[in-house]
Amino acid sequence: MPEDRATSAANPRSTTYARALRELQIELVKYQKHLIAHDERLLLLLEGRDAAGKDGAIKHIVEHLSPRETRVVALGKPSDRETHGWYFQRYVPHLPLAQEFVLFNRSWYNRAGVDPVMGFCDAAQYEEFLDTVPVFEQMLVRSGIRLFKYYLDIEHDEQRRRLQARRKDPLKQWKLSPIDAVAQQHWKDYSRARDTMFARTHTLHAPWYVVRAGDKQAARLNLIRHLLGHLDYHGKKPEVLLADPEVVFSYSDEALRSGRIAA
């Protein structure tokens, strides 16, 4: 028996996942053809806990897309000069132009999570961000950008397991950072910051969607289904774009109170 068939027989769940992913990646290519033909602009923000699976989700979304019209933005620490400028200024040059699909692996929402928790901004800067980001995003949407915001959510124990595995894996050493080292220690602080972020920045023009990412494969598939389900393009197959509402859903106070979002 060929090796790939043997692997499939041994792990039928992986085979089902691979087939579903390929089908969705074909849908992504269809949408990108539409985006290019109609000069559309798509912006996807991926936020979430450390080790929630943002890198993997992005990798599988862009895997078969045109590299000329697809950009992944993952900005590092701001320079001293940038810290004294308008907060959004360093993000603006990376916004999508006509025919572009841009994905932010973390975004301006660092100012709503990492920055206040780790002391990288003061209280006034934090409040200024929460007050102005809805206006900034409304400007983007009114300009014609299709904006989607996803928060990948995992439980405390699952984050600990993934961070421990990351430390042991020589191929994932690049993912380790001082922020990761204290992620567990600041779990509750990040939860409070996240809840405030949702309450202050979940709007009609730029809502938050939560992805329960304890199962990485289910998270990836349902994120793509949900995204494509909100987009129009030629040849769309709605029957393969039915996202599981237990995996991806719009933020609400009820979801927070009921425990659907990790405390």
- What 3-state DSSP class applies to 129? helix
Distance, C-alpha 202 to centroid of its chain: 15
CA distances from 104 to 48, 77, 89, 177 (A): 12, 15, 15, 19
* Whether the Cβ atoms of residue 98 and residue 40 lie closer than 8 Å to each other: yes
The DSSP symbol for 72 reads E
Please give the backbone phi and psi of residue 130, each rounded to the nearest 5 degrees, phi first. Answer: -60, -30
* Whether the Cβ atoms of residue 247 and residue 226 lie closer than 8 Å to each other: no
* Whether the Cβ atoms of residue 64 and residue 29 lie closer than 8 Å to each other: yes
Residue 2 has pLDDT above 50, yes or no: no
Please give the backbone phi and psi of residue 250, each rounded to the nearest 5 degrees, phi first. Answer: -70, 140
Q: Which amino acid is at 77?
A: K
Q: Where are the domains of the chain?
A: 23-258
Residue 3 has pLDDT above 80, yes or no: no
Residue 190 has pLDDT above 60, yes or no: yes
Residue 11 has pLDDT above 80, yes or no: no
Residue 4 has pLDDT above 70, yes or no: no
Percent of the chain clearing pLDDT 70 (strictly above): 96
Instruction: Output the CATH code of domain 23-258.
Output: 3.40.50.300
Among 81, 86, 124, 123, smallest CA distance to 108 is for 86
Q: What is the pLDDT of residue 10?
A: 54
Give start and end residues of each alpha helix (H) in the chain: 3-10, 12-37, 54-62, 80-83, 114-118, 123-142, 156-168, 178-181, 187-201, 216-229, 253-258
Which pairing describes strands 70-73 and 100-105: parallel, antiparallel, or unpaired?
Answer: parallel
Q: Rounded distance, CA 106 to CA 109, Å?
A: 7
Per-residue model confidence as pLDDT tens digits over 235-250: 999 999 999 999 999 9
Q: Rounded distance, CA 160 to CA 183, Å?
A: 9
